[in-house]
Amino acid sequence: MILHALLLGAAFAARAKMLVVLENDRMKEQYSSVLNQLNGKFETHYKLADDADLHLVKYGKNIYQNAVIMAPSTEQFGGDVTTKTFVEFTQNGGNLMVFASSNIGDAIRELGAEFGIEYDETGTKVMSHMNYDYERDQLQHDHSRFSLKASDSFLGGSEPIVGPPGYASLLIDNAVAMKIDKKNTLAFPIVKCNSYCYSWFPNEPISEYPMAVGRDISLLAGIQLRNNARIVFASSLSMFSNKLIRQKFVTYWDNNKNEHARYQNSVSKLAMHVFAWGSNNSGTFRISGFQHKLLDKENSRNDFYYINEEIEVVAFVEEYVDDNWEPTSLTFPQLWLDFHRLDPFIRIPFANEGGGKFRATFKVPDTYGVFNFIIWQTKLGHTYIEHKQQITVRPLRHDMYERFIASAYPYYFSSFSMMLGVTLMSFAILYHRDVSPAKKNN
Amino acid sequence: MSKADVQSGTVAGMSRLGVSSLLTLVVLLGVSLLGFFSRLFAVIRFESIIHEFDPWFNYRATYQMVTTNFYDFLNWFDELAWYPLGRIVGGTVYPGLMITAGGIHYVLNALGFTTHIQDVCVFTAPIFSGLTAIATYFLTKELWNAGAGLFAAAFIAIAPGYISRSVAGSFDNEGIAIFALQCSFFLWIRAMRTGSMFWGIMTAFCYFYMVSAWGGYVYIINLIPLHVFCLLLMGRYESKLYVSYTTFYCVGQLMAMNIPFVGFQPIKTSEHMASAGVFALLQCYGFLDYLRSKLGEKEFKRAFYLFVTICAGAIFAAVVGLTMLGVVAPWSGRFYSLFDTGYARIHIPIISSVSEHQPTMWTSFITDLHFLPAVAPAGLWYTIRHYDSAKIFLVIYAAFSCYFAGIMVRLMLTLTPVVCMLGGIALNVTFDHFFGEDNEDSQKEKAKKDAKKSEDTEEEEATPLAIKLTVVMALTGLLCQFAVHCTYITSNYYSSPSVVLASSRPDGSRNIIDDYREAYYWLRTNTDDDATIMSWWDYGYQISGMANRTTLVDNNTWNNSHIAMVGRAMASNEDDAYEIMQELGVDYVLVIFGGLLGYSGDDINKFLWMVRIAEGEHPNHIKEANYFSAQGQYTVDKSMSKTMKNCLMYKLSYYKFGDVRTHAQMSGFDRVRNVEIGHKNIKLKHLEEAYTTEHWIVRIYRVKKPSNKSRKLSHKLTQRKKKTKVARKGRKGVLSTTIPAAKGANTRQKASFEL
């Protein structure tokens, strides 16, 4: 569905600008099947990596919304582009897709390091002796073109990133091992190797422990920055080339059956989904409206609340589909609301009422202070959904308490009886004359 | 002043003459006006501005009240203070001050004098000090005579001890509370003298005003019962005392309970239990006295005192028992710290961190009262010599005020009126001695037969004229000195708004340092409406009053743990502080720094208190000892400890200060601590400088949002960099797979990797 939308959908809408950086012009043809799909979706600009006129950011503004760097061997970018430029580009909200390869150059390596991704040395390749491409390996014996069974490898992320399940296998070629720094909390693997893989110089004896083996090796990694800019790091460029992407089946030697076997190659599907995700065309949401008011129909006050009032909160969530913001569907996962003052006093799920409308009702806690409505949802593959609104919860006014309470009746009675008693007493004292002694005298 | 004393000396002589009362009136009016005008230095020197810290809140609250209405004020929930807790102002404030100023404002505007509430607030305290002089006159007159009253009124009008709290612009509770205090005491003496319910209720009303105006009302509600108790001990019980105290106590406490902030305290807290106990004791005493009058004197006399003692014991035991059971709240820490001076330092550092809560230095007695402490003992001696039920009150008043004034600088305020009264009495007696003319002596005797004893007159008759003249001239000279001293102290020490500072240039002209208002104005105009400012609590009221921004803590120090949290943030290193600030939702941090100018009241000098307060709540995170150098000194030079060097307060105070040359030889020389700072190259990670005022007194920092970016690789790359290149604009890039060639795809070689 997303694929369809991506390819055909918004051909007429104002298209986002995309920069594609290549190593040489021949690559346009070599990667045409991928690039043509991008051409259909974006307003693409092609530049060579060593072009002296290469710019991403001008006067502090991004020139492009997306940048695809298909120049793995770059030692140094042309123009004014350095690692810092990429940082600025992503800080400004630009999306980045970076492709590496076993001939990875310093510029790409530094770019990875800047975002917490580490590559193995130039010349090393990820190899597998299990599912390597039998046909190719007869020509070039390095086991670096192999297939990964989707069920063995980690096809990480959620549906917005890799689309619906149904991957058979991926044909990997000439990949450089990629490791995600453990302290990097924003990066996550999308495709990981299976446990048969390792990374070393092809056809050389292994003299020390490789930088990464097995499932440590990531082949595709995603990062979503806190400003929702997305970055995809791929460790192999050539697996997306026309030649390999069009190879529908991978032949390999099946050890169990002792014969050649074939898997379907799903790289094409993966590419399309990852490109859609990486250019913020999938799993992109926003809160377009947020309202809160008293549940009380007559009183629609919403600038502050008193304690223990019932209030209603409505949030509208939109999804970016086909270059348009559209209300999210009912399939949107649950959205949560916090009512927060140092700690969350209330944390409840919204009810999805369709049409992108989410509604929650709750009773304001019995504590006054300055509260915040907070929606803060991080879900793999989704944009961070964040909304914060301050509201004051006041204590009751002096005249909002009950005027007469049953338990106070004894007190009312005692005070009134006291008043009566004092009146009678003073009456008695003032008007009673002690006549008896006088009478006696008389 | 000199006019007042000369005339008051003759007033006693001119008794039974209309001239006397006219003169009294004129003198009193003059004294009141003098009191008013001598408080206007601050307005003339600077401008009509609210001073210091607390007055800013009072002004803000008053403004809120006059712009809305009283009930809105009562229910005002201030969301700018104590973020995110908020403050119910109506229930946590003594509203008397706001109502007074609001009332004056209302009356003036109703009469057609359009005034801004700020001007009313500025002049409220001077107006009330005029009234205080009059109240003092009446109280002294009630206790001694009119002559002493006029002396006392003249003294209190210009005594610096009282002026310090009541200059124009010092819109604080104390400004009107001293008037209420003197007035309640006067009414109480009148009530117990006459035994009239009317005066008892008047006392209660005045007491109610005092309760509504200042927390120091506790002083009244303990002093009056103590007076009654002493009278009981001395066997001076009379039904007048019973009537006046009972009416005062019942009506007064009932009214006091109507102040929301006071609430049920009069029957629930230990501070008020003395008055309740005396009330109960008086009932027992009265009842037993009644029994005694009915029964025979002799058979009952012995039993009577036994019963009274038993009653007193039972009441005392009941109060103690109720306190133990928790029905009656024990003494609050603030009250307790008045009796155990070391208590606050250990248990409530926040109280002892305030400079006005420090023990009084002996010099301030001279500064604030000049020669009065020297003559007051004489007045006290005369009072004791001629004691009666009323004068005993003065003795008790004097004794307690002296004690409290020794405990806290702030309580010099309660000492001042009583010292003025005693001084007035002493001078009055002396002038009567030496100034009285021979033919008037006999009249004087008749006029003050209770005050004078036969031996006095004998001495007086024996005094030769020369000595009389010498003494009178010496005293007059002293009084002139007093007037000069008071004016000098008022103008030089007590008339600074402290919001605006002044320094004198070498040529003698004045240089106004207006950094505070500059900074607050910047905050007001350059930050978001709901921006939250973190600063030490001293500046909370000013920020909300002048900058109209949210503060975390302010001078209403009701929540110690919240203050400790701010203290902890200031005392932690930047990473930890950042976490705390994120949790508290801080947008800006404001620190006061005096190092450039030599302004000693800055945050670095207050910092140890922040550490102490933070340590009280978070002993696991903050340790005071860590902030001292190896030599055990609190310093900012090279020998300072690592904790001190890394703490947020140090960094924010001295950020970029290392680049400034404030000394001929070195840069980064702190002119308050007089040292070269130890760490000059300060780098901030989570904060950035937002604004620094002209003289660097106020420095404001913005708290940065968490970085958008994911973390950099925490270790070195596996492959070492081959070359380091400097980025140049418009240069060509380098590809490892191509030979450098001219532009154009045709000449480019094929990439080496296989497809």
Per-residue pLDDT of B138-152, as tens digits, reads 999 999 888 899 999
Q: Measuring CA to CA, how many Å separate B266 from each of A286, B217, B256, B558?
A: 57, 11, 8, 20
Distance (Å) from the C-alpha of residue B701 to the closest C-alpha of chain A? 22
pLDDT at B746: 37
Cross-chain CB nearest to A79 (options B711, B730, B752): B730
What are the structure tokens assigned to B200, written together?
Answer: 């008892």
What pLDDT digit, counting tens, does each position of B616-639 carry? 888 888 888 888 888 888 888 888
Instruction: Name every residue whose Cβ is closer than 8 Å to that of residue B293 and which is 6 or more positions away in sequence.
Output: none
Mean pLDDT of B57-84: 90
Which residue in chain B is spatially nearest to A222 when comparing CA positions?
B710
Query: Please, what sign has the CA dihedral across residues B651, B655, B661, B666?
Result: positive
In which residue ranges of chain A is CATH 2.60.40.1930 found? Answer: 285-394
Cross-chain CB nearest to B733 (options A49, A223, A399): A49
Which residue in chain A is spatially nearest to B721 when comparing CA positions?
A106
SS3 for chain A is CHHHHHHHHCCCCCCCEEEEEECCCHHHHHCHHHHHHHHHHCEEEEEECCCCCCCCEECCEECCCEEEEECCCEEECCECCCHHHHHHHHHCCCEEEEECCCCCCHHHHHHHHHCCEEECCCCCEEEECCCECHHHHHHCCCCCEEEEECCCCCECCCHHHHCCCCCCEEEEECCCCEEECCCCCCEEEEEECCCCEEEECCCCCCCCCCCCEHHHCEEEEEEECCCCCEEEEECCCHHHCHHHHCCCEEEEEECCCCEEEEEEECHHHHHHHHHHHHCCCCCCEEEEEEEEEECCCCCCCCCEEECCCEEEEEEEEEEEECCEEEECCCCCCCCEEEEEECEEEEEEECEECCCCEEEEEEECCCCCEEEEEEEEECCCCCCCEEEEEEEEEECCCCCCCCCCCHHHHHHHHHHHHHHHHHHHHHHHHHHCCCCHHHHHHC
Chain A contact probe: residue of B71, B725, B726, B754 with most A CBs at under 10 A: B754
A378: buried, middle or exposed (CB in 10 Å: 19+, 13-18, 0-12)?
Answer: exposed
> Above 80 in pLDDT, residue B744?
no
Q: Which residues in B562-604 belong to E strands, given as ranges?
A: 588-592
pLDDT at B3: 45
DSSP B92: G
Q: How far is it, in rounded angstroms, from Cα A113 to Cα A124?
A: 18
Residues in B closer than 8 angstroms to A238, CB to CB, are 753-755
Distance (Å) from the C-alpha of residue A159 to the closest C-alpha of chain B? 23
B2-11 and B465-492 helices, crossing angle to 10°: 140
Query: Please, what sign has the CA dihedral across residues B185, B188, B192, B193?
Result: positive
Q: How far is it, in rounded angstroms, from Cα A85 to Cα A89?
A: 6
Angle at B592 (CA atoms; ends B589, B597), nearest 5 degrees: 145
With CB atoms and an 8 Å threshold, state whether A24 touches B727: no
Higher pLDDT, A322 or B147: B147
Which residue in chain B is spatially nearest to A102 when comparing CA positions?
B753
> Above 50 in pLDDT, residue B122?
yes
Chain mean pLDDT for chain B: 83
pLDDT at A3: 47
Residues in A closer than 8 angstroms to B246, CB to CB, are none
Residues in B closer than 8 angstroms to A62, CB to CB, are none
**β-bridge partners, A289:** A316
Instruction: Name every residue whose Cβ is closer than 8 Å to that of residue B239 and which is 6 or more positions away in sequence.
Output: B195, B286
Cross-chain CB nearest to A368 (options B77, B713, B729): B77
Distance (Å) from the C-alpha of residue B77 to the closest C-alpha of chain A? 6
Cross-chain CB nearest to A181 (options B74, B711, B719): B711
> Above 60 in pLDDT, residue A155?
yes
> Above 50 in pLDDT, residue B260?
yes
Residue listed under structure tokens 């460029």: A237
Which residue in chain A is spatially nearest to B723 when comparing CA positions?
A106
Which residue in chain B is spatially nearest to A340 when comparing CA positions?
B84
With CB atoms and an 8 Å threshold, state whether B736 touches A73: yes
Residues in A closer than 8 angstroms to B733, CB to CB, are 49-52, 54, 74-79, 81, 107
H or E stretch at B88: strand B87-88
What are the structure tokens assigned to B675, written together?
Answer: 């040292």
With CB atoms and an 8 Å threshold, state whether A91 touches B708: yes
**β-bridge partners, A79:** B731
Q: How far is it, in rounded angstroms, from Cα B700 to Cα B523?
A: 9
DSSP SS3 for B328: coil
pLDDT at B732: 66
How many CB atoms are closer than 10 A to CB B606?
Answer: 18
With CB atoms and an 8 Å threshold, state whether A223 touches B710: yes
User: Of the ranges A351-360, B3-12, B52-61, B213-222, which one carries the lowest mean pLDDT score?
Assistant: B3-12
In which residue ranges of chain A is CATH 3.40.50 found? Answer: 2-278
What are the structure tokens assigned to A263, written together?
Answer: 């898997």
pLDDT at A296: 81
Instruction: Name every residue whose Cβ is closer than 8 Å to that of residue B579 and which is 6 or more positions away in sequence.
Output: none
What pLDDT digit, counting tens, does each position of B497-551 carry? 888 888 878 887 888 888 899 999 999 999 988 899 999 988 989 999 899 999 9
Contact assessment for residue A233 and residue A223, using Cβ atoms and an 8 Å cutoff: yes
> Above 60 in pLDDT, residue B295?
yes
What pLDDT digit, counting tens, does each position of B198-257 carry? 999 999 999 999 999 998 899 999 999 999 999 988 888 888 999 999 999 999 999 999
Q: How far is it, in rounded angstroms, from Cα A390 to Cα A378?
A: 21
User: Tell me: domain A285-394, CATH 2.60.40.1930, correct?
Assistant: yes
With CB atoms and an 8 Å threshold, state whether B711 touches A91: no
DSSP SS3 for B158: helix
Q: Which ipTM was obtained for this model?
A: 0.79
Cross-chain CB nearest to A225 (options B708, B734, B751): B708
Cis ω before B266 (30° cut-off from 0): no
Contact assessment for residue B626 and residue B641, using Cβ atoms and an 8 Å cutoff: yes
Q: How far is it, in rounded angstroms, from Cα A239 to Cα B117?
A: 78
CA atoms lying within 13 Å on the CB side of residue B154: 30
Q: Measuring CA to CA, how many Å separate A217 from each of A188, A190, A214, A221, A245?
A: 12, 11, 6, 10, 22
Amino acid at B185: F
Higher pLDDT, A340 or B14: A340
φ, ψ of residue A381 to 5 degrees: the values are 95, -20
- DSSP per residue, B522-552: HHHHHS-TT-EEE--GGGHHHIIIII--EES
Mean pLDDT of B58-86: 89
Chain A contact probe: residue of B246, B725, B735 with most A CBs at under 10 A: B735
pLDDT band at B740 (very low <50, low <70, confident <90, very high): very low
Q: Measuring CA to CA, how many Å separate A166 from each of A189, A267, B133, B584?
A: 19, 12, 94, 47
CATH number of A2-278: 3.40.50
**Contacts A–B by Cβ distance under 8 A:** 182
pLDDT at B149: 92
Distance (Å) from the C-alpha of residue B608 to the closest C-alpha of chain A? 27
Residue listed under structure tokens 């603030």: B334
> Above 50 in pLDDT, residue B445?
no
pLDDT band at B279 (very low <50, low <70, confident <90, very high): very high
Instruction: Name every residue whose Cβ is closer than 8 Å to that of residue A322 and which is 6 or more positions away in sequence.
Output: A5, A9, A10, A13
Chain B contact probe: residue of A46, A106, A304, A415 with most B CBs at under 10 A: A106
Residue listed under structure tokens 């009746």: A409
> Above 60 in pLDDT, residue B738?
no
Q: How far is it, in rounded angstroms, from Cα B721 to Cα B724?
A: 7
> Above 60 in pLDDT, residue B747?
no
Instruction: Name every residue whose Cβ is closer than 8 Å to that of residue A101 and which is 6 or more positions away in sequence.
Output: A72, A73, A174, A175, A176, A235, A236, A237, A238, B753
Contact assessment for residue B472 and residue B434, using Cβ atoms and an 8 Å cutoff: yes
pTM: 0.83
Q: How far is it, in rounded angstroms, from Cα B588 to Cα B604?
A: 18
Distance (Å) from the C-alpha of residue B529 to the closest C-alpha of chain A? 12
**β-bridge partners, A304:** A392
A residues 51-110 lying closer than 8 A (beta carbon) to B = 51-54, 71, 73-82, 84, 87, 90-91, 101-103, 105-107, 109-110
Chain B contact probe: residue of A26, A28, A50 with most B CBs at under 10 A: A50
Chain mean pLDDT for chain A: 85
Across A74-78, A97-101, A353-357, B354-358, which has the greatest mean pLDDT?
A97-101
Residues in B closer than 8 angstroms to A98, CB to CB, are none
Instruction: Name every residue whose Cβ is closer than 8 Å to that of residue A254 and which is 6 or more positions away in sequence.
Output: A260, A261
pLDDT at B533: 92
Mean pLDDT of A126-132: 81
Distance (Å) from the C-alpha of residue A266 to the closest C-alpha of chain B? 18
pLDDT band at B755 (very low <50, low <70, confident <90, very high): very low
Residue listed under structure tokens 């589909």: A321
Residues in A closer than 8 angstroms to B714, CB to CB, are 116, 181, 183
Residue listed under structure tokens 């010292």: B419
Higher pLDDT, B722 or B50: B50
Which residue in chain A is spatially nearest to B749 when comparing CA positions?
A24
Distance (Å) from the C-alpha of residue B449 to the closest C-alpha of chain A? 39
